[in-house]
Amino acid sequence: MPAVEPTIHDRAESLVQRTGARVTRQRVEVLAVLLAAPRALTHHEIEKRASRSRGIDRVTVYRVLEWLTSHNLAHKIAGDDRTWRFKAAGDKPELGHDHAHFMCNDCGDVICLDEVRAARDIRLPTGYRPQEVELTVKGLCAECIPGRRHS
């Protein structure tokens, strides 16, 4: 059953189109997956979710993600498990990525803390030039608090 999800897919398509580059099924699908997710996803999760209709090659997913990132349609977040996580940048690609993140020490999930802004006035050694500030709170997410059963 081709029960398409109109809104998200269309938003994705429109965002890809707006870059002026080619609108391919793979780009749209991957971006749609990111837009639909409430948190940052690993390459693995993205690949799995994007392959529901037809498959997308592993390498293509990597390349699409790199492309999305370089066009500010997605953000790339380094986790402690040495795997990148990706998150849709939202509808305003012009805006930067200067909010904070929360990372679960147990399951590795990453969410954005949109309200928090990192301090920008930090003293560096002489000769050092700051570019971005990253603020990551680590801890346990609601799912991983001991005492709760795993879903």
Total residues binding a second copy (CB under 8 A): 37
Q: Which of residues 11-40 bind DNA (CB under 7 A)?
A: 21-27
Cβ of residue 26: shortest distance to DNA, in angstroms? 3
Stretch that binds a second copy, among 3-11, 54-62, 87-95, 126-134 (CB under 8 A): 126-134
Using CA atoms, how far apart are residues 109 and 59, in angstroms rounded to an integer?
23
89 secondary structure, DSSP code:
-
What is the identity of the amino acid at 140? L
Question: Judged by CB under 8 A, which of 128, 147, 149, 150 binds a second copy?
Answer: 128
82 secondary structure, DSSP code:
S
Query: What does each C-alpha distance from 132 to 7, 83, 129 come to in angstroms?
Result: 33, 21, 10
Q: What residues line the site for a second copy (CB under 8 A)?
A: 78-80, 82-84, 100, 102, 105, 111, 113, 115-116, 118-119, 122-142, 145
